[in-house]
Amino acid sequence: MRILLTGGSACGKSTYAETLAVRLAAPRYYIATMRIFDDESQKKVDQHRKMRKTKNFITIERDTDIHLIRLPQRSTVLLECMCNLTANEMFDNYGNITDVYDKIISGIESLASQCENLIVVTNDVGSDGGEYDAGTREYIKTLGRLNISLAQRFDCVYELVCGIPLVLKGRLL
Amino acid sequence: MILVIGAIASGKLEYVKSLGYSDSDIADGVLDERPVLNNLQDMVFSDPAGSDKLYDALLKKEVVICNEVGSGIIPFQRTDREAREATGRLCNRLAQAAERVVRLVCGIPIVIKE
C-alpha cells in the first residue's frame, strides 16, 4: 500500500504518519531527509526523534539520493519529507538550481519496489499566493508536480487538517 | 467546544453567526466572558511561546475560530515560522478535545470531526 500525506505546517502529518506506520508491518524504516544546519533544524530533528523513540523505527538518514537506499527487508517505510528532499536536491550553496523531478520520482519508485507499505509525507507549499524569487517559484512548481505524480501513483492520499485525516483518494486505513 | 477553521475570508464568521451567535457574543483575539473567540491565530502570533497557556481557557469557549496558517512556503523569518507552528499545534490539540471541528471552504462548512 502506498500512502501520500499532505497538509500545511504543523497540521499533524508526522504524528499521523508514525501512528499509521506502527499499525503496518514491521520492521519500520524511517527515512529522514532534513539537513541539520542550525539550532532550529537540530531542534526539529530532536523533536521528531523523541516522537519516534518508542515506535521502533530504524532511521535511515539520507538528505539526497534516495535512489541509493537498499532496504534489507520488505516492510514499511516512512519517508519524511518531500519538501526537504526536493529543496536539498534542487539548491546547492552556489545558487544553482537543478531539475530534480525525474530523479526524485525514480527514487520513490525504487523505494516502493523494495517495501510492502510506503508512506510519504509532503507539504502544501503552493497556496499562500506570496511573491517569490525565481528559485522559490521553481521549487513550488517542482514540488507541486511531484505531489501530482505521487498522488496519481499512490493508492491513498490524505490531507491532514488539525490532526484529522481527510481522504482525497482511496480509503482510510 | 466547536472548532471552526479555514482560510482568511472563507466564511468562518458567517457560519458561526448562522449557528445563532451575534456580534456581541464574539470576542476578537481576546479572552473574556463572551462565548465565541474569533482570530485565535492573532493571539498565538503575538506570543507563540505562550500559546499553550491558552488551551484550558479555549476549551471553556462554545466556539473557537482560527485561520489555517500552515500552508504555502515556509516563511523566511524564524518568528513567523514559530508562530505558524504554534498555531498549528494548538489547533491539533483543540481539535482532539473539540466535540465538533468544522472547516470552511468557499463558505461551505465541512464537518471534519463529530
Domain membership flag for residue B43: yes
CA B71 to chain A, closest CA, distance in angstroms equals 4
Nearest to A163 by CA among B74, B113, B65, B86: B113
* Contacts (Cβ under 8 Å, ≥6 apart) of B44: B51, B54, B83, B86, B87, B90
Interface test with B, best of A88, A121, A162 (most B CBs within 10 A): A162
Domain membership flag for residue B85: no
Task: Give the whole-number percent of chain A exceeding pLDDT 70.
Answer: 100
* B70/A127 touch (CB, cutoff 8 Å), yes or no: no
Question: Which domain covers residue B71, as residue numbers?
Answer: 24-75+93-114
Highest-scoring range by mean pLDDT, A49-53, A100-104, A126-130: A100-104
Q: What is the DSSP string of B39-88?
A: -HHHHHHH-GGGGGGGHHHHHTSSEEEEE----SSPPSSHHHHHHHHHHH
Q: What are phi and psi of A47, to 5 degrees?
A: -60, -45
- Cα separation, A127 vs B54, whole angstroms: 28
Domain membership flag for residue B54: yes
**pLDDT value for A127:** 87
pLDDT band at residue B3, thresholds of 50, 70 and 90?
A: very high
- Whether A103 and A67 have beta carbons less than 8 Å apart is answered as yes
* B70/A8 touch (CB, cutoff 8 Å), yes or no: yes
The tens digit of pLDDT for each residue in A151-170 reads: 999 999 999 999 999 999 99
The tens digit of pLDDT for each residue in B24-33 reads: 999 999 999 9
* Contacts (Cβ under 8 Å, ≥6 apart) of A90: A97, A98, A100, A135, A138, A139, A142
Confirm or reject contact between B5 and chain A (CB < 8 A): yes
Domain spans of chain A? 2-169
pLDDT band at residue A130, thresholds of 50, 70 and 90?
A: confident
Nearest to B15 by CA among B114, B99, B111, B104: B104
Average pLDDT, chain B: 96
Please count the structural domains in chain B: 1
Element (H, E) at A146: helix A134-153
* Contacts (Cβ under 8 Å, ≥6 apart) of B70: A7, A8, A9, A10, A11, B84, B85, B87, B88
The tens digit of pLDDT for each residue in B61-98 reads: 999 999 999 999 999 899 999 999 999 999 999 999 99
- Other Cβ atoms less than 10 A from the Cβ of A102: the count is 8
Kindly list the distances between the CA atom of residue B29 and the CA atoms of B5, B74, B90, B113, in Å, as whole numbers in the listed order.
15, 24, 15, 24
CA A35 to chain B, closest CA, distance in angstroms equals 15
Domain membership flag for residue B3: no
Kindly indicate whether the domain formed by A2-169 is annotated with CATH number 3.40.50.300.
yes
Q: Which of B3, B85, B96 sits opposite A10 (nearest CB)?
A: B85
Residue A47 pLDDT > 90, yes or no? no
CA A126 to chain B, closest CA, distance in angstroms equals 5
Interface test with A, best of B44, B82, B92, B105 (most A CBs within 10 A): B92
Domain membership flag for residue B67: yes
Domain membership flag for residue B105: yes
